[in-house]
Structure 1
Amino acid sequence: MVARDASSGSAADWQSEAKDQITLRPSLGDEIYQRLVDDLISLRIPPGERLSIDGLARRFGVSQTPTRAALIRLEAEGLVVKKQYSGWSVGPLPTLDQFEKIFELRGLIEPASAARAARHASPAALEDLGAIAEEMQKLIAEDIADHRARLVVLDSRFHTAIAAACGNELIEDTLGRLFTQMHIFRLRYHSDVAHAVIAEHLDILAAIEARDPARAEAAMRGHIEAGRERIETHVRQHD
């Protein structure tokens, strides 16, 4: 009788309930990944530093499995490297040549991505972009110097959300591989630059919300060109 009561729901109900439970809880691997990204972009863990799976697992109070999953994800994005005998370590800063190639590709793809987002973004996608922009604006009322890493994460989320809203999975995947590699340089924004970055994001969002592809494309192109100018001097100093 007990067994019958426990199985009284349909298979579809059980599968739906299990799916809801999973989506409400972020994976440990995702949480560790975000913590490590914050450490890397803030240079709390410097380039070349060795990363021990066992040490990181102890730090976060988790098993090695989600820790390894986070490192594999970071390796795919170029933030950490793995060598056969020395294990994991923080990847080097991008070279000037890599920097120029990244911005060249962004200049080709992102303006078109913004224009497509203006045409195809769903109401949910627009809501997501608006929420990210709102979080950025809240930082203006505070000392941005104390929230540089947070701004970097929001910057990446904003651009990633536009890529996701454009309706082209290949564009989304290509840009996703570039954004994380730019984190380390975005962190060099001082407070005045951070205000300019946020204002540029708001211009892009306004064009997308207005369903104006030409305006969105132009705003994104200007934002990328301004970003390149802001970061290039720093890259040349460390190349």
Structure 2
Amino acid sequence: MTTTARSKGRPEALAEKVYQALKQDIFAFRLMPGDRFSENELAGRLAVSRTPVRQALFWLEHEGYVEVCFRSGWQIKPFDFNYFEELYDLRTVLEREAVRRLCALPPLACAETLTALKQFWIDAARLDDGNAVSTQDEGFHMALVAAAGNQEMARIHAGLTEKIRIIRRLDFTREERIEATYREHALILRAIFQQHTEEAQRILTDHIAVSKAEVRKITLHRLQQARLQPVE
């Protein structure tokens, strides 16, 4: 259920705030896969009653972030490697199609559509903060899909992008990944501008495959290290 869908029919704005706070805790590794907690613990920490906490947890359960533990409250769902890999497979399909559509646009129209991406990834000075680059990387791929002009495709892509955000954050804890991201994004954009569809799709596919490979490298130690790093 999307935030927009909830906001249309919910009277409890407080539950939305709890939901957003808990989701940010998950993405920032303050709540880690396998962590267990009770509704009372969360209510005390967030200074709210159990009712908005319970509603927020139901939303997060529906979205696959938490699960009920029999007789012991709730827990952040452990990593399901196959699930994340399937999300990456779907992401690849959607983004390859988006690139194909962008390459079919008139060159001038395509260049105008992707001006902001060119300015950031090719023209501007590079950032060296992993969290900031992670956010911009997410925006790059969402912008490509949105620019292709299919709103339903963009909606589905945005949903799966959020689900793999935690993997993306882990991927950008290494300096070499920041360098590679700038280089590969520039190559993708140049191939699109030149209407080299197969080349753009190949670079994009290889680019995503590197992130997908990180899924199988996730360990508790890496998560603990990420937890120690501040996330904006």
Give the TM interval when normalised to the shorter protein. Answer: 0.5 to 0.7
1:130 to 100, 118, 136: 118
Q: Which residue of 1 aligns with 2:97?
A: 112
1:155-210 per-position Cα deviation (integer Å, ceiling 9, x unaligned):
21111111101112232122222212222222223111221122212211222233
Matches within 5 A, 1:163-182: 163-182=145-164
Contact 1:125 1:161 in 2 (8 A): no
Structure 1 vs Structure 2 CA RMSD: 4.1
Cα gap change, 1:173/1:76 in structure 2, threshold over 3 Å: closer, same or farther? Answer: farther
Contact 2:113 2:147 in 1 (8 A): yes
Task: Tell me, yes or no, if structure 1 residue 213 matches structure 2 residue 201.
Answer: no
Alpha-carbon shift at residue 86 of structure 1 (Å): 8.7
1:19-55 per-position Cα deviation (integer Å, ceiling 9, x unaligned):
xxxxxxxxx979x94x766543331232345597756
1:57-103 per-position Cα deviation (integer Å, ceiling 9, x unaligned):
659xxxx99x99988886665445689x998864433x121122222
Q: Distance in 2 between matches of 1:70 and 1:117?
A: 38
Aligned residues: 197
Q: Distance in 2 between matches of 1:222 and 1:183?
A: 19
Letter paired with 1:116: R
Q: Distance in 2 between matches of 1:109 and 1:56?
A: 40
Q: Which residue of 2 aligns with 1:152?
A: 134
Q: Distance in 2 between matches of 1:158 and 1:149?
A: 14
2:83 to 94, 98, 103: 98
Moved more, 45-54 or 195-204: 45-54
Cα gap change, 1:116/1:49 in structure 2, threshold over 3 Å: closer, same or farther? Answer: farther
Q: Which residue of 1 aligns with 2:31?
A: 45
Moved more, 186-195 or 43-52: 43-52
Matches within 5 A, 1:1-239: 33=20, 39-47=25-33, 48=35, 50=37, 78-80=64-66, 90-93=76-79, 95-120=80-105, 125-133=113-121, 138-140=126-128, 144=129, 148-189=130-171, 190-229=174-213, 231-235=214-218, 237=219
Contact 2:81 2:216 in 1 (8 A): no
Partner-residue secondary structure (3-state), 1:167: coil
Partner-residue secondary structure (3-state), 2:189: helix
1:102-155 per-position Cα deviation (integer Å, ceiling 9, x unaligned):
222233332222221233465663133235536995313xxx3xxx33222222
Letter paired with 1:119: A
Letter paired with 1:187: R
Cα gap change, 1:117/1:70 in structure 2, threshold over 3 Å: closer, same or farther? Answer: farther
Letter paired with 1:234: K
Larger gyration radius, structure 1 or structure 2: 1
Q: Distance in 2 between matches of 1:46 and 1:171?
A: 30
TM-score (norm 1): 0.61
Percent of counterpart pairs with the same letter? 25
Letter paired with 1:98: Y
Letter paired with 2:127: L
Contact 2:31 2:76 in 1 (8 A): yes
